[in-house]
């Protein structure tokens, strides 16, 4: 029994110390779909996730996490609470989709 504990102790210690490496999942706000935003971001449900995607489609990619406050229902507190989960990916240079031509 003591031999087993002496073998398991270092493994348990490593597992505990590496817990930070398994921290929160990250999400690229410029490429994620609404379901992913809903799942990864705390305080963001289906309607806020859809609002983020809709805003991104209408106005183009987000250049920073702080730009999320331009989305209705998203405040700075929510952005700060999710700061470690938010990534701003390559879509940041993308322009908004062109509007359909009207006749």
pLDDT tens-digit series, residues 10-22: 765 555 554 444 5
How many CB atoms within 10 Å of residue 61? 20
Helix (H) or strand (E) holding 48: helix 46-59
Chain-wide mean pLDDT for the chain?
Answer: 83
Closest CA to 48 of 59, 38, 40, 58: 38
Q: What is the pTM of this model?
A: 0.69
d(CA 86, CA 88): 7
Decide if pLDDT at 3 tops 60. yes
CB neighbour list of residue 53: distance below 8 Å, 6 or more residues apart: 33, 34, 37
pLDDT of residue 101: 60
Give the right CATH number for 24-92 from 3.30.565.10, 1.10.150.280, 3.40.980.10, 3.90.50.10. Answer: 1.10.150.280
d(CA 69, CA 76): 6
Name which residue leads in pLDDT, 97 or 33.
33
For residues 87 and 48, the answer to whether their CB atoms sit within 8 Å is no
pLDDT of residue 11: 62
- Domains of the chain: which residue ranges? 24-92
- How does residue 96 score in pLDDT terms, banded at 50, 70 and 90? low
Decide if pLDDT at 70 tops 90. yes
């Amino acid at each position: 029994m003591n031999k087993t504990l002496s073998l398991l102790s270092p493994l348990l210690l490593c597992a505990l110390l590496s817990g930070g490496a398994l921290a929160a999942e990250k999400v690229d706000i410029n490429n994620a779909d609404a379901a992913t935003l809903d799942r990864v971001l705390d305080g963001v449900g289906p309607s806020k996730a859809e609002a983020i995607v809709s805003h991104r489609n209408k106005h183009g990619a987000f250049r920073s996490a702080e730009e999320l406050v331009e989305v209705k229902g998203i405040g700075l507190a929510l952005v700060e609470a999710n700061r470690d989960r938010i990534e701003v990916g390559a879509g940041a240079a993308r322009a908004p989709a062109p509007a359909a031509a009207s006749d």
